[in-house]
Amino acid sequence: MLKLFSLVIAVSLFSIDSHAQSAPTVSAINTIDFELPVDQSIHYMTRQSWTTRDGLPHNSINAIAQDKQGFLWFGTWQGPVRFDGKDFDIYDDIRVTGLPDIGIFSIALNPCDDSIYVAGARGGISRFHDNRWLPLEPAPPFVNEVEIDSNCTIWVSSSEQGLINYENNERVSQFTTDNGLPSNNVYQARVDTAGNLWAATAGGLMVKKSGATQFQRVGGLPDNRIRKLFLDHDGRLLVGTGSGLFQQQDERFKFKKLLPDINYTISAINRTQDGALWLGTYRNGILRFFKGELQQVTTETGLPNNHVLDILEDQEGSVWVSTHGGLMQFRRSLFTTMQSHNGLAGDFVRTVYEFKNKLYVGTSSGISRLTESRLTTFEAPHPLANQSVLSFEQYQGQLLIGTYTNGLFMWDGERVTQHLTSDTVLRSEEVRALTTSDDYGIFLGSPTGVTQLVDTDQGWQTRTITTKDGIQNNYITALRVINDELWIASVSGVSVVDLATSTGGEWAVKQLDFSDLHNAQLTFQISHKGPYVFLATDRGLIYHNQNNNKWQIINRDQGLPFDNYLAMSFDGDANIWLGSNRGAIFIAHDVFNDFLEGTIDKLTYQRFTEVDGMGSSQVNSGGPSMIRSDNGRVWMSTARGVSSVAPSDLKAMVQIAPPAVIASVTADGKRVSYGSRIPADTQRLVVNYAGLGYLMADHIEYQVRLVGFDDQWLPRGSMTTSEYTSLPANDYVFQVRAAYPGGAWSEPVSFAFTRSEHPWQQSWFWLTIALAGIAITTVLVRARIRFLSNQRTQLELMVAEKTKELKGLARQDSLTQLGNRRAFDEQLQYEVKRCERSAQPLSLAIIDVDHFKLINDRYLHVIGDQVLIELSSLLSNMLRDVDYIARWGGEEFALLMPETNAKEALKAAERIRQTVEDTSFNHLANDLSVTVSIGVASSEHYPNHSALLVAADKALYEAKQRGRNRTELA
């Protein structure tokens, strides 16, 4: 079983200066052993970089921090920057930040209140909290760093006046050479768990022990400039110097060099949660030390600049590296990619195939073989060395290898058993496609047609299939034997040969007509799964249901991003993957199955590219270029290596829900704060939000709802803005949540606001009108007192009648005109007591409309309400005079049947259920059918009203559990 996602090459990758060198040459087969999981190597992490071309205001990013919400913050020479994974918010207005300039050299998070502190070249310090900037008393220029300890004390390291201390955002003390510092140029300060204050200065490392008043020098370290301090997970201090990295020893004030062979100037230090030590250097890029292995990334291998300024691990485990040339993110890859610098025979991969638990990768430069712990590349003088491979297939325990210029090789796993060329039996040296059958032999596709090879006692016997036999073009792109049919794809269309009837030298060829399927012609791959045959074509994915002989095509019209697909495969969870020149398309199994069954007409998908770890977005065509291996991984041939992905990795990654944040709310262009009241004449409310996920930022999806207007979650796709126009006056709560596609949703975040009423919508307006009316009425009453006196008796009678009517309405459901739950409870108690007095049975039935939510969702609430009205009428007409029915709530009705035993009640309920099922509702909506589930209970078994209700409700639940549209007796 292949487990390449957990493999990484441990040959030259881990040497400091030679990780990109090719593997050592062996006479015929070059073998590389794997030792570490892939996600433990920096070389297998997905990298993404940002510069000014991507929205950064400056390429020098001096410091990085992340707040508790999940925003990333960068200190640049053009101001502090906040990043949500897609957009950069640049705070370069000193009138807003209160800073003396926009050059930010340090940035830090205060863990006590989640505020962000920034400091700059001219000594300015400002605090960002609750979307406001609050400047502090300036420090002396130049601020090297702001550090906030666990007690929320702020330490400001300056280049001219030592170390300054702030408490409660007020400057309280200062440490200089008068306090024992060798220099007033302090680069950094740290307070350890014992309360010792450490200072990195231009004259060495100093410490002020807990309770002491003076600093003292720490021995065992260089006496010159100390650039970086880092408190490790174990509480020990790591010290970055101009000659390497030093680590605090068990004797707390002694240090020892951690990596003796590394004499680089260390400019940044971080220890990630997996235990890896990341080091930034002044001129030598990034170093990563993990489990005894040292890895390096420089500008030669993609780093924007070799001068590293800061390193941060974010909440999802990605590592961010800032340099003088831009920003780079290292994150675990969804896709694993093997390339030539890992030992692969070549980067341009055309085909991939699994044979005898080994993965064979065919490139334009040769063949590589991957096993669980080894990569093998065939090299000269091996006969498979340097072959440009176009296709793979297996036949009778041997691997068939089709090449571009050297015919067909047969390989048994240990040696080449046969080599067929145009000098022997082939018509062409170019073998573009292969397929085999135990009954019909081997079929080879080339630019000159199809060749059939049959192994006989007299040797290989050949037959050809060309345009003379009826196929549409001799340039063959794909082949597949399905049952007794040979499917032949060419640049001009697809033909099918009936092999069972192709006898006597004649081929029974049928040309497929795709004129109704966007006139598709060029087919790159033929796949077969269940009753379906799939064709990856230049017009979309065509599929044929062999059970009903139905043809369909999937492309832009069905929701996919484009039309041209070069390959397809299913992974171990039966999800579908499509290969294109613009990335790999993923369609979840349930979505694809619903589409095939016709329950949905639009597909949802995910598109993955280089940012997700693919070697290249260009998935090549080949024979085959995309496969599912036995362990469920999908392997794809790309223009820059072979990439693979496992469904379990995708599941694990998307389950990390990106936290959602509301960035801004504006009403007619003016910013709104939480809990605000917006004017009554507001026409347009705009909410901007983001999901703070950096693993797959381009794939984040959103759902929103506006409580008070529409309480249902509404899908927004990747849109990060919601707009509302002409909202009625009300109190509202806007909510948004985020997720990676198919993953868990984050906890929703909320924003409350109130839309004011117009004057005529407010109580004081109507109170004034009422008072005016009272005054006028008083005048009229006084003028007509005699008339009103005569009418008093009549009015009293009317009031009494109205009161009676209102009491009736309080017990009546307004929609169905049946009794409501209050009326039913009173009636139930009355009937139970009457039942006890008369010793007659009483039965209760609870009736629930099946799948009523689906009716509302599909036909809207108006149709759902009409269904309830017609059901209430239908039920009422079926009852005896002594029966009583009420609307129990929602889509439920409750029926009392006095003087009815359990057996009789069950028959009555079943009669009701059958009548509802037989009743047509097509006049409300096409294809609308309604059924009910009924639970019945009798006082014969449940003598009091509470037990009777519980029993009927349990019986209803059992009816639903058993499939709905049925009656159950408790």
For the cut 70, the answer to whether the pLDDT of residue 38 exceeds it is: no
pLDDT over 90 (residue 943): no
The model's pTM is 0.65
pLDDT at 808: 57
As to burial, measured by CB atoms within 10 angstroms (0-12 exposed, 13-18 middle, 19+ buried), residue 771 is exposed
pLDDT digits (tens, 9 = 90+) for 644-680: 998 888 887 777 888 999 989 999 989 998 988 988 8
Instruction: Please give the average per-residue pLDDT across 551-562, as a whole number.
Output: 93
DSSP H or E segment with residue 827:
helix 821-838
Distances (CA, A) of 564 to 278, 556, 762, 856: 43, 10, 60, 38
Task: Tell me which residue of 264, 255, 208, 203 sits closest to 230, measured CA to CA.
Answer: 255
State mean pLDDT over 551-565.
93
Phi, psi dihedrals of residue 486, rounded to the nearest 5°: -105, 115
Mean pLDDT of the 429-440 span = 94
- pLDDT band (50, 70, 90) for residue 967: very high
Instruction: Dump pLDDT digits (tens) for 721-746.
Output: 999 988 888 899 999 999 988 788 99
- The stretch 138-143 carries a mean pLDDT of 89
pLDDT in tens, 592-625: 999 988 899 899 888 998 888 888 999 999 889 9
Encode pLDDT of 474-490 as tens digits: 999 999 999 999 999 99
Report how far residue 147's alpha carbon sits from residue 63's, in angstroms, rounded to the nearest whole number: 12
Residue 573 or 807, more confident: 573
**pLDDT score for 127:** 95
Q: Which of 595, 592, 541, 555 is nearest to 571 (CA)?
A: 592
Q: What is the pLDDT of residue 797?
A: 67
815-969 carries CATH number 3.30.70.270: yes
pLDDT band at 807; cut points 50, 70, 90: low
Segment 94-113, tens digit of pLDDT: 999 999 999 999 999 998 88
Domain map of the chain by residue range? 660-758, 761-808, 815-969
274/291 Cα distance (integer angstroms):
10
> In the beta sheet, which residues pair with residue 749?
736
* Residue 804: predicted pLDDT: 58
pLDDT confidence tier of residue 13, bands split at 50, 70 and 90? very low
Q: Any idea which architecture 660-758 has in CATH?
A: Sandwich (2.60)
Phi and psi at residue 927, in whole multiples of 5°? 65, 15
Q: What's the token pair of residue 204?
A: 């060495």
Residue with tokens 């949905």: 600
Write out pLDDT tens, residues 48-78: 899 999 999 999 999 999 999 999 999 999 9
**What is the model's pLDDT at position 796?**
64
Three-state SS for 62-91 is: EEEEECCCCCEEEEECCEEEEECCCCEEEC
Q: Give the E-state strand segments of 620-695 in sequence order.
A: 626-628, 634-638, 641-645, 660-667, 670-671, 677-678, 684-691
Q: Angle at CA 129, nearest 5°, toward 123 and 132?
A: 85
Look over the chain and give the mean of its residue pLDDT values, rounded to a whole number. Answer: 88
Q: Are 221 and 200 in contact (CB under 8 A)?
A: no
Q: What pLDDT is recorded for position 54?
A: 93
In this structure, what token pair is assigned to residue 754? 């109130």
> Tokens in use for 253?
């004030």
Contacts 24+ apart (CB under 8 A), 724-731: 724/684, 724/685, 724/687, 725/683, 725/684, 725/685, 726/683, 727/682, 727/685, 727/755, 728/755, 729/680, 729/755, 729/756, 729/757, 729/758, 729/761, 730/754, 730/755
Locate 56 and state its tokens: 């950064």
CB atoms inside a 10 Å sphere around CB 713: 15
- The share of the chain scoring above pLDDT 90, in percent, equals 59
Residue 650 and residue 575: Cα distance in Å, rounded? 11
pLDDT of residue 57: 95
Give the tokens for residue 457. Answer: 């006692």
Q: What are phi and psi of 458, to 5 degrees?
A: -90, 5
Closest CA to 346 of 371, 360, 363: 363
The greatest distance separating any two alpha carbons of the chain, rounded to the nearest whole angstrom, comes to 130
Taking residues 177-203, report their average pLDDT: 93
- Parallel, antiparallel or unpaired: strands 358-363 and 749-755: unpaired
Is the Cβ–Cβ distance between 957 and 846 less than 8 Å? no
Read off the pLDDT of residues 243-295 as tens digits, 9 standing for 90 and up: 999 999 987 889 999 999 899 999 999 999 989 999 999 999 999 999 888 99
- CA–CA dist 4, 629 (Å, integer): 11
CB distance 229 to 238 below 8 Å: yes
Q: How confident is the model at residue 11 (pLDDT cuts 50, 70, 90)?
A: very low
Predicted local confidence at residue 631, as pLDDT: 87
Burial class (CB in 10 A: 0-12, 13-18, 19+), 275: exposed
- Tokens for 888, please give them: 């129990």
**Portion of the chain with pLDDT greater than 70, in percent:** 93
Tokens of 263: 């004499």
- DSSP β-ladder status, 46-50 and 61-66: unpaired
Kindly report whether the peptide bond that precedes residue 142 is cis, defined as omega within 30 degrees of 0.
yes
Which band of pLDDT confidence, cut at 50, 70 and 90, is reported for residue 858? confident
Residue 708 contacts residue 731 (beta carbons within 8 Å) = yes
Is the per-residue pLDDT at 704 higher than 80?
Answer: yes
Each as own residue / partner, the long-range contacts of residues 357-361 (CB below 8 Å, 24 or more positions apart, any chain) are 357/1, 357/2, 357/630, 358/2, 358/413, 359/2, 359/4, 359/629, 359/635, 360/392, 360/399, 360/401, 361/637, 361/642
**The total number of residues written for the chain in this structure:** 970
Once rounded to an integer, what is the mean pLDDT over residues 799-803?
60
- Chain-centre distance of CA 201, in angstroms? 45
d(CA 207, CA 192): 10
Rounded Cα gap, residues 371 and 513, in angstroms = 43
Is 380's pLDDT higher than 90?
A: no
* pLDDT surpasses 80 at 22: no
Residue 37 pLDDT grade (very low, low, confident, very high; cuts 50, 70, 90): very low
- 């519980």: which residue's tokens? 950
Torsion of CA 249, 252, 253, 257, to 10 degrees: 10
Per-residue pLDDT at 337 exceeds 90? no
pLDDT for 251: 78
